[in-house]
Amino acid sequence: MKIKKYYSQNFLINNNYIIKIVNILKISKINYDCILEIGAGIGNLSKELIKIKNKKIILIEIDKYLFKQLKKKFIVYKIINKNILNCNLKKLGYKKYYIIGNFPYNISSKLILWIIQNKKYIVECIGMFQKEFVNSIFSINDKFKTKLSIYINLYFKVIKLFNINNNNFFPIPKVNSTVIKLKKKKSNLLKINNINEKKFFLFIKECFKYKRKIIKNSLFYLFNKININNKLFFKRIDELNIYEIIKLYKIINKYYNINEIKKKYI
């Protein structure tokens, strides 16, 4: 088998970790219709999933060769040869998906955005990412390091489960990995506050362009109309919790159409 680096192929070969990951899914009390494994690869995780009785399982694998091998190994599975980023969960036919996988690290950010886009159909997620990437989306004391960390933490609680050293993979990657759980939050803060998601995400994106600056300076082009006495304007975006960020957004959105900010000033 030829390893394809452009698919970020590093297969977990330590069966103890594989069983540990699947056992977390087994003990979950979340109600779901289908298990969706992303990046099934050579089927090491898939062979443990099949032991979960009375559950529909779908495997996604982009590599055509591995897809053919998986079809020979797992006749009872529905196996799809496709890029997960091009998959619409609504069209796959189920309402509630449990996502699992050793995710390709080269699409980590895009995969998180895909999870957000399909959040209506995802009840929970267990997956493996590069350790450094997990640290970037994990909120510490409700503060956020990146715009992506705000996006995902709006809808899911990011829970670190355990780390896996690189020598448990083939081929051996240069980085270590972390298995996380994305636990769906019961309430949607944007919906509660009547905030448009696209406008809010654009606002966050603008704030993080100059995240080392205080808000007053990073969005300097706005403040000819806004009273900047509020203390939030004198903090950096990564110093604010989600409630403060929403409050800041509401103040700015009162004076500006957020959709027009980028066109007009950037």
Q: Name the CATH topology of 191-265.
A: Helicase, Ruva Protein; domain 3 (1.10.8)
Q: Which tokens sit at 246?
A: 């929403």
pLDDT: is 17 or 171 the higher one? 17
Indicate yes or no: pTM above 0.75: yes
Domain limits, CATH 1.10.8, in the chain: 191-265
Q: Which tokens sit at 92?
A: 């796959």
* Burial (0-12, 13-18, 19+ Cβ within 10 Å), 179: buried
Q: What is the pLDDT of residues 148-198, one digit of tens each?
A: 999 999 999 999 999 999 999 988 889 999 999 999 999 899 999 999 998
Is the Cβ–Cβ distance between 169 and 11 less than 8 Å? yes
Domain limits, CATH 3.40.50.150, in the chain: 5-186
Q: Name the CATH topology of 5-186.
A: Rossmann fold (3.40.50)
Q: Is 164 left (phi over 0), alpha (psi -120 to 50) or beta?
A: beta
